[in-house]
Amino acid sequence: MILRLPVVLIAFLSLVTFAFGATPNGVHKCGSHLTVDEMITKETKFADDLSKIKTPTRITSGFSNHTILVYFNVIYASMELSGGYIPDQQIKDQIKVLNNDYWGTGLRFELLNVTRVENSGWFYDVGPETPEQTDMKEHLRTGGPDVLNIYTVSFNNSATEGLLGYATFPADYSDKPKDDGVVVNFATLPGGTAAPANLGRTMTHETGHWVGLYHTFQGGCDPPDDYVDDTPAEAEPAYGCPVGRNTCPSRPGVDPIHNFMDYTDDSCMNNFTPGQVDRLRHQIYTYRNISL
């Protein structure tokens, strides 16, 4: 389906997101990095929300599988690859990467629909907390909390230069359902031009936020870190693939540079930890009505 929609600027809704940074030189940074106090507030609410619902035995003792349906929204400025017009095969390759990376979590992803929208305003100017992204999502978002909506754009203006992606968290859905989803730079899809971030791991990373995971370096060297016990503390994001780096020597383990929730090169990333899998299962059960 191809839609051609005018750019309509409307009052923006606040969006709590995480952005996936591209370079160590600060070319871009997190869209909305939570402070420790903000995390504590969010996690206190999560513990309270989880305590109010009856958790299935398999959430604590084992898990089944669940298929997440994906609505893929391709925003483009021209019907050329450089203008964001991603071919179907590249989209299929991205879904394959998601399924490979989330193997073992109990989640799999199934592409249900691709919508292509010619809108240069959205393509160039969408970013965290912008009226363009609110307008885009108001027009396009489909389904409930258990459906993943993906949007590909270019992040090609001074405010978003270097940005690779951002996403919403499960707990945000009830207050802002139309904001829910993942937005990534189209060039990060497998075979794209955003090397060394062109193997599709930006989508894996941002979907990690969508299922409730924080960055591995969240909180730096001080507890509660990322609220996952088996991801070693990390003072700051890692870039490239600095094997053996240890930015929190007083805490156990070296930096988790191979984790999908760090900022390393796509070729360096290869895992979620068991603790992250446990956390995402509880997050999506509590806020997305997905039981594993």
Question: Which amino acids are annotated catalytic?
Answer: 206
Three-point CA angle 169, 173, 178, nearest 5°: 110
Which residue's entry shows tokens 């359902």? Answer: 177
Helices (H), the chain: 36-51, 57-61, 88-101, 120-125, 131-140, 201-210, 274-288
Sheet containing 182-185: order of strands = 2-4, 107-118, 66-76, 148-153, 182-185, 165-167, 18-19
**Beta-carbon-side half-sphere exposure of residue 32 (alpha carbons within 13 Å):** 15
Cα–Cα distance list, 36 to 30, 133, 160, 228 (Å)? 15, 27, 24, 14
- Other beta carbons within 10 angstroms of residue 177's beta carbon come to 14
- Other beta carbons within 10 angstroms of residue 142's beta carbon come to 13
Q: Tell me the one-letter amino acid at 286.
A: T
Backbone φ, ψ for residue 75 (5° rounding): -95, 130
- Structural element, H or E, at residue 184: strand 182-185
What whole-number distance in Å separates Cα of residue 122 and Cα of residue 136?
A: 7
Q: Please list the residues that pair with 111 across neighbouring strands.
A: 70
Q: Tell me the one-letter amino acid at 46.
A: F
What whole-number distance in Å separates Cα of residue 89 and Cα of residue 12?
A: 34
